Amino acid sequence: PFPWFEKMRKTSPVTYDEHRSSWDLFRYDDIVAILKDPVTFSSVRPTAGPVLLGSIIGMDPPKHHQMRNIVSKAFTPKAISELEPRIAEVVHELVNPLKTKQQMDLIHDISYPLPVIVIAELLGVPPEDRQLFKDWSDVIVKMPEDSTENEVQSFFRERQKTRQELDDYFMKVVTERRKNPREDLISRLVHAEVDGQHLTDHEIMEFCILLLAAGNETTTNLISNAIRKFIEEPHLQEQLRQQPELMEKAIEEILRYYSPVLATNRVVTKDTEIGGKQIKKGDQVIAWIASANRDENKFPVADQFKVDRTPNQHLAFGNGAHFCLGAPLARLEARVALPIILSSFHNMEFPEGTELTPIPSTFVYGVKALPVQYNPAT
């Protein structure tokens, strides 16, 4: 998508798309402006789909503010940072069996299972329900295989069914945790309180499902997009092994350069103007955050990957009121996983003839599979 973004930033940065009846925004400053104005640009949008509708990502102030404050009490940076040793353990469990091989699919073997396991443990899903949980996660991130009516219908049926199963499952867990609290996120959500306000069972369930939908595929893509870049520019592998202190900046640069989320959208609540264009109440706006992240006016040599880029105020996690709540978790998983991968597998490269297939989605950016050939570290 990047050549298209560049062309649009230069020629038509605020564009009406007749086909989708929506405005496309490509420039950094325009996108920050709409994300910072949730009153004019509403997140209550018809396109959120059954998975996200009803969760905080689809709410506006003041309700959004209220709910976000309460869930933040349970989903704290401290609770996240405490996961570090366990994340390292999970990464080692995934990496170890690969050390006797010379080729893997990094996504299937590492970057897909990791966030699913971490979220399941954080929520307190017992090990015997892991497979169930993984199957649900698969359905949530799936797109229709093609656009035939049959496929689209069966896709929506499957999604609806999964949504129902998730609702039932989490409702049961929430009820159980109210009776017998444990050391897990769901128990903390049950007790989280701001000014005497608690979450209802239904709100907790919505939030749990949002974590699955918003956190898994995005983190998978962050890790696999990073390894993809380290293979495209192989000197980065040795450089990051030699200078591990660069890793945090490298992760921010990956988030900017290969943003796992391409875009987010809003609905306009009153007539307004962006970049000299008149926008009408009711119009939809698509903010191409991956384009903002390549905007030359914000990032010098934006199309170059600079491992230690500073400053790096990318929009990969959004901006303003809806700024990604899971950013500390995504960053932590990458910060733990990438050094272990780099130290376990040397000379990573694509097997001859590899052609990467992009995920068929307008909103997420990554590849379907990432075949990697390597020398196991001795």
The full length of the chain comes to 378
Residue nearest to ligand HEM (CB): 326
Taking the C-alpha atoms of residue 16 and residue 284, their distance in angstroms, rounded to an integer, is 10
Residues that bind ligand HEM (CB under 6 A): 43, 56-57, 68, 119, 210-211, 214-215, 218-219, 222, 260-261, 264, 316-318, 322, 324-326, 329-330
220 versus 237: smaller Cβ distance to ligand HEM: 220
284 φ, ψ (degrees, to nearest 5): -100, 145
Please state the closest distance from residue 71 (CB atom) to ligand HEM, in A. 8
Please state the closest distance from residue 213 (CB atom) to ligand HEM, in A. 9
237 versus 319: smaller Cβ distance to ligand HEM: 319
Taking the C-alpha atoms of residue 162 and residue 133, their distance in angstroms, rounded to an integer, is 10
190 versus 316: smaller Cβ distance to ligand HEM: 316
Q: How many of the other CB atoms lie within 10 Å of CB of 301?
A: 9
8 Å CB contact between 58 and 45: yes
190 versus 329: smaller Cβ distance to ligand HEM: 329
68 versus 298: smaller Cβ distance to ligand HEM: 68
Please state the closest distance from residue 258 (CB atom) to ligand HEM, in A. 10
8 Å CB contact between 94 and 109: yes
3-state secondary structure of 15: strand
58 versus 371: smaller Cβ distance to ligand HEM: 58
Please state the closest distance from residue 316 (CB atom) to ligand HEM, in A. 5
Angle between helical axes of 235-242 and 327-344 (0-180°, round to 10): 100
> Within its chain, how far is the Cα of 355 from the centroid?
24
> Which residues on adjacent β-strands are paired with residue 373?
103, 349
Please state the closest distance from residue 222 (CB atom) to ligand HEM, in A. 4
346 versus 363: smaller Cβ distance to ligand HEM: 363
CA distances from 9 to 25, 279, 291 (A): 8, 18, 8
Please state the closest distance from residue 337 (CB atom) to ligand HEM, in A. 12
Number of H helices, E strands in the chain: 16, 10
8 Å CB contact between 26 and 8: yes
Please state the closest distance from residue 242 (CB atom) to ligand HEM, in A. 25
Positive/negative CA dihedral, 327, 328, 329, 332:
positive
